[in-house]
Structure 1
């Protein structure tokens, strides 16, 4: 005689219940194994940027110290803050820069300060050579020397980032001579970009940002010459991917 069990007002054959229990148990084990497998993959897949601690040396002039804005709004410090949100910590941020510095001034400062090697080094210099009408041949020689020093301090060309010179001809300060200034800046940046290619270092073009923003109210600091914190943030948006690509290779 067959035995039946009443369940939810339905009659189910007892052997069938046993089979269903086995299937359910097997499915549960598969599900648990699948979950453990996924968790194991997650655990074994490294976050390439997780808990990275770096040192960063920023070399330059007023554009690097952030003349006209608070230090925290200069692009090196905004870079530091942005990277922290991506699990990359700049533990040591060294800025060697000063308003009005030419390539020669920066060379002398490096001799005096003798900075220690850093994981990454940036170089943004030359606008004061142009503004002070220093010989272009002098700029080229001194820029070459500075780039060599940057490569040495960074432990290799792959850890150096050259940033282009912004066009101050679009600001009220340079509006009376904007075309001439723009052409001169292009000349300097063309040489800088060429050297970056030869030395195999990264080149970040922020000049187009300065030109696209022009003299918009939010684009400049109160002095109507130097970039605002908003413009520096846009520079950082271009620099971050370059730096992260270096970390991941």
Structure 2
């Protein structure tokens, strides 16, 4: 029997995509590929365009510099926490996110159903946030607005949405040694939400 061609996977984002403070094998994109392979899906290692601290505009610049030319079979997008952290208004996030989402869809061969958007986790629940003058409630409210915008734009575009924010709030104790980023165990919990959506996306045909 002919061997199925390997699928190409592009992961776009910031520190949450590269798994800051977690071993590389426990980044959720890496765990995702491992689980897909266990299900018989032939897929390359994720190609990461993500840097700790990136905002939406910095991700856009990073994508330009990466010279992304091939068509990907799966694209994931998780971006926005640094826009919120820097105090940028939600009104500015919408067009910036929408533009990135459209680029992701183009990179997925103009197949929006192959683009999976992951919500922004709530960093306000972490020890790092305890000294932030905005307070836990305000951070949560701001992130809820950001996520509502991302979810709305995702729905409009026909892409897929995964909410991991609730996981970040329910498991705030699962934090890395830096007191800010998720631990490997929390990324595994994210994966439990992300995996079925990705499997469905890869099984969808036009």
Task: Give the TM-score normalised by structure 1.
Answer: 0.76
1:132 pairs, out of 71, 79, 86, with 86
Contact 2:162 2:193 survives alignment (8 Å): yes
1:137 shift after superposition: 2.5
1:175 shift after superposition: 2.9
CA distance in 2 between counterparts of 1:237 and 1:246 reads 15
Indicate the residue corresponding to 1:118 in structure 2: 72
CA distance in 1 between counterparts of 2:5 and 2:200 reads 13
Which secondary structure does the structure 1 equivalent of 2:30 belong to? helix
1:89 shift after superposition: 2.6
Which secondary structure does the structure 2 equivalent of 1:87 belong to? coil
1:185 pairs, out of 122, 136, 143, with 143
> For the pair shown, which has the larger CA radius of gyration, 1 or 2?
1
Which secondary structure does the structure 2 equivalent of 1:88 belong to? coil
Contact 2:30 2:45 survives alignment (8 Å): no
Matching of residue 141 in structure 1 with residue 95 in structure 2: yes
Indicate the residue corresponding to 2:119 in structure 1: 164
Contact 1:68 1:222 survives alignment (8 Å): yes
**Which runs of 5 or more residues in structure 2 are unaligned?**
none
CA distance in 2 between counterparts of 1:184 and 1:137 reads 12
CA distance in 1 between counterparts of 2:83 and 2:164 reads 18
Indicate the residue corresponding to 2:200 in structure 1: 245
CA distances 1:90-113 after superposition (whole Å, capped 9, x unpaired): 224200000000000001111111
4+ residue segments displaced more than 6 Å? none
Indicate the residue corresponding to 2:179 in structure 1: 224
Contact 1:164 1:189 survives alignment (8 Å): yes
| Bigger relative contact order, structure 1 or 2 (CA pairs below 8 A, ≥6 apart) | 2
CA distance in 2 between counterparts of 1:104 and 1:59 reads 12
Indicate the residue corresponding to 1:7 in structure 2: none
Which of the pair is proportionally richer in strand?
1
**Which runs of 5 or more residues in structure 1 are unaligned?**
1-49
Contact 1:52 1:87 survives alignment (8 Å): no
Contact 2:90 2:145 survives alignment (8 Å): no
CA distance in 2 between counterparts of 1:132 and 1:192 reads 18
Over the aligned positions, Cα root-mean-square deviation in angstroms equals: 1.4
Question: Quick one: structure 1 residues 51 and 235, their matched pair in 2 at CA, closer, same or farther if it must change by over 3 Å?
Answer: farther
CA distances 1:131-187 after superposition (whole Å, capped 9, x unpaired): 011232322111111000000000110100000000011111113411111001100
1:96 pairs, out of 49, 55, 67, with 49
Matching of residue 77 in structure 1 with residue 42 in structure 2: no
Contact 1:54 1:92 survives alignment (8 Å): no
